[in-house]
Structure 1
């Protein structure tokens, strides 16, 4: 089996039974803020796109690149489709011209043989056959209503492409036996804490914590999977816009949440794991089970090393080459001036508010949107969009967003502001109190289907009947946030519990969630 990096979370997996192209991203994402790092524009995308199977893990634009898919990927490729609660991903791919789909079942091993897919028998795949499993994550916090990971086995070698998914139950991997190659995210993909209106020193401390927790979570997954070789991937992006260059980890900032591959490989070595592999776009791993591995790069090793040792210069050179691409992206935005934004926001948001009682009540207060000279209030308790009231003062949660960005997502009828405006980091935010999960879920779910699913998901009771002992406390086994097994992801420091899956924290003496309101933990000191 040959695994070729095509940049970021993208890989091309070549087997005797056919080739699988995974998450081929090349064009800038999130209002031109994110570019793949290192540069992958030099790859032969027509050859890579002449694949037998296509796997797009989810609809984040650093995984789902419609321009690249439309221009370079063979429409006769069969799509390996995750088992998602809403059909948005399939709709988007059909709109691009793909017509062949294998609809997988969540966490079920399937056998691909002779162009057909069935539930896999217990026997290993024969030559010319493949076993695949897609682990589909379906909570509202998982991507834009869905994220996933892919397992591929040709009978000799097994690869687990976790990209930036965060599976809760890793026991399903036991059906494949030993994993040979593990591909996973280790770096940040968020706007926190950089965009928040908080003191500089506080922001740096939060960033340092976020940076380390992300790498700790990655190492937790690596320990659970136990693969022979590990490839840090799915990040970081590179920020080429002059206004956003400070976000790159190229100036010794310990609070930067975007560490690169070299940083994480060193983390692995510090903790006793020498199985990490550095891949850049065009690097190829030729693997034969766990017995043999050959890694080759598209350029001499000295050039690979220079990308990271002289990173600022590499980014500057890339910024110069990509300047026309970034300029074209900005030219596609809607103009900043126009009709009052309140009308478009009201038409978009109020119907969603009226069908999402649980989420609106979970938000629980008005939220301010400051867009240039115009301020609009999202009054969630009353399910309306309105103008500010006289003397209303500062809102508990608020956003300052350039009006051209808001006009663009309204023009494009964008169903997800989180994975457009917010991941761009082209905004500022403030909040009084903890993180509000319901608010960001609302911004992800601006369609009838999405909001109905999210509201229903939150209404289901989380099972907290099972208990574990951890750090001198008896606590519920499943995290109150997204049901992660705290026996695997929980870390106790004094009276503080952190779930490394998403970094949420609880006070063990009271059970109070420190990260967001609600989500209390059942706990008892032993």
Structure 2
């Protein structure tokens, strides 16, 4: 099996049976904020696009690059389709001209036939509203000699299916770095932001290491991040100036973390790097010396920014103008029908939310299921966002169903909150269609079994995390009276069972004698 890195979470997998192109991202994403790092624009995308199979893990725009897929990828390629409850991914691919689909069943082993023979594959599909934009996934590929698990930035809960279906994993491709806007965009003191960033940075790497231990592959390739931020106003987000609170550590940082914790199987890949893997044997070649990138990362980024300036300017030219009519009626037309269908989510948000867009402030009144103007004297809202109006006008113009996957991941906004994180609020913003909101509201309403228990550091706790049902015997870490689930970094007070991260989500726990 030959695996070529094509940047970020993207890989080209070559086997005797056929080739699979995975998550080929090259164009700036999220309002031109995110760019692949290191630079992958010099790859031969036409050659890479002459693949037999295409795998797009989910609809995040650093995985689903519509322009690259439309211009460079063979439309006769068979799409390996994750088993998602909402068919948005298939629809988007069909609009680009793809017409051959192999529909997988979640976590089931399948055999696919390429021009040179058969391959065994499995797609682990995550289906909770918090997983990507209504879905995230990882791909397992086996050619009979070598098994590769391309986890990209999925966070599977049950890893036992890997061993049961494929036995030993030879090479594991996984995310290790941040892909979120917290805490950088929060209106909080700088020192507090740094402390939260340090925690977020370490939790992300701890989670990745826990997956490494569970998968137990011979070789591990850190992938799926971080992006690079090339706009002058966003350059501070890059981990190139010794900021201990930066949530975007690069592959070199994580490989050192692996070594510190006794794992010597880490493999650095940059765009164009090729590994040939036969079982547990691996050989690696790079297109250039990685030191040309990492020895002076700040200079490399500065050079990228200079070269990409016209590209970013062209992207910004496509945005809607900042000025225009009031946004009240367009937002009413978008949000109020969604609110009317989502009692559980609106009640879970529970408060009016402020939306400041330049000179205009509107209120998303979730208790009343209404979008309105502020009421004199109602004070500061418990949750609020300050978003440039041109971004709001652009997503309205484009009928974008997912503000999380556009505005929020761009980091081109600021926000505040009083109290804990509210998962219902961000779920609402990624479910702005009838189909999505119906699925999400039903998912939250569905009862989950939490009767099984596990023991952790002298406490008996329910085995499944109240957030997204991760196995706490594998992801749970106890520090004093606090339990942290390293899958997403959520925390609970063990004495009371209260969730310290978000509203609701109580944990069943008791101290053992």
TM-score (norm 2): 0.99
* Secondary structure, aligned partner of 2:34: coil
RMSD: 0.7
User: What CA distance in whole angstroms lies between the structure 1 residues aligned with 2:363 and 2:62?
Assistant: 31
* Secondary structure, aligned partner of 1:129: strand
User: What CA distance in whole angstroms lies between the structure 2 residues aligned with 1:381 and 1:388?
Assistant: 15
Residues 1:184 and 2:174 aligned together: yes
Q: Counterpart of 1:451?
A: 437
User: What CA distance in whole angstroms lies between the structure 1 residues aligned with 2:5 and 2:107?
Assistant: 25
User: What CA distance in whole angstroms lies between the structure 2 residues aligned with 1:274 and 1:461?
Assistant: 42
Correspondence list, 1:145-184, <5 A: 145-174=134-163, 175-184=165-174
TM-superposed deviation, 1:150:
0.1
Q: Counterpart of 1:119?
A: none
TM-superposed deviation, 1:461:
1.3
Q: Deviations over 1:238-273 (max 9, x none)?
A: 000000000000000000000000000000000000
Residues 1:142 and 2:128 aligned together: no
* Secondary structure, aligned partner of 1:144: coil
Unaligned segments of structure 2, at least 5 residues: none
Q: Deviations over 1:147-174 (max 9, x none)?
A: 0000000000000000000000001101
TM-superposed deviation, 1:114:
5.7
The runs of 4+ residues in structure 1 deviating greater than 2 Å are none
Q: Deviations over 1:98-123 (max 9, x none)?
A: 000000000000011367xxxxxxxx
Q: Counterpart of 1:45?
A: 45
User: What CA distance in whole angstroms lies between the structure 2 residues aligned with 1:62 and 1:19?
Assistant: 21
Q: Deviations over 1:371-428 (max 9, x none)?
A: 0000010000000000000011110000000000000000000000001000000000
Residues 1:429 and 2:415 aligned together: yes
Q: Counterpart of 1:78?
A: 78
Q: Counterpart of 2:396?
A: 410
Residues 1:224 and 2:206 aligned together: no
User: What CA distance in whole angstroms lies between the structure 1 residues aligned with 2:509 and 2:295?
Assistant: 47
Corresponding residue to 1:359 among 342, 345, 351 = 345
Q: Counterpart of 1:252?
A: 242
Correspondence list, 1:35-434, <5 A: 35-113=35-113, 128-174=117-163, 175-290=165-280, 292-299=281-288, 301=289, 304-434=290-420
Query: Is the 2:18–2:114 contact (alpha carbons within 8 Å) kept by the matching residues of 1?
Result: no
TM-score (norm 1): 0.97
User: What CA distance in whole angstroms lies between the structure 1 residues aligned with 2:416 and 2:453?
Assistant: 37
* Larger mean Cα displacement after TM superposition, 338-347 or 429-438: 338-347
Query: Is the 2:82–2:105 contact (alpha carbons within 8 Å) kept by the matching residues of 1?
Result: yes
Unaligned segments of structure 1, at least 5 residues: 116-126
Q: Counterpart of 1:498?
A: 484
User: What CA distance in whole angstroms lies between the structure 1 residues aligned with 2:253 and 2:262?
Assistant: 15
Corresponding residue to 1:510 among 496, 505, 509 = 496
Q: Deviations over 1:190-247 (max 9, x none)?
A: 0000000001100000000000000000000000000000000000000000000000
TM-superposed deviation, 1:128:
2.2
User: What CA distance in whole angstroms lies between the structure 2 residues aligned with 1:114 and 1:278?
Assistant: 29
User: What CA distance in whole angstroms lies between the structure 2 residues aligned with 1:278 and 1:336?
Assistant: 42
Q: Deviations over 1:285-339 (max 9, x none)?
A: 000011x11000011x3xx113112000000000000000000011000000011
Q: Deviations over 1:471-501 (max 9, x none)?
A: 1111000000000000000000010000000
Query: Is the 2:10–2:23 contact (alpha carbons within 8 Å) kept by the matching residues of 1?
Result: yes
Correspondence list, 1:453-468, <5 A: 453-468=439-454
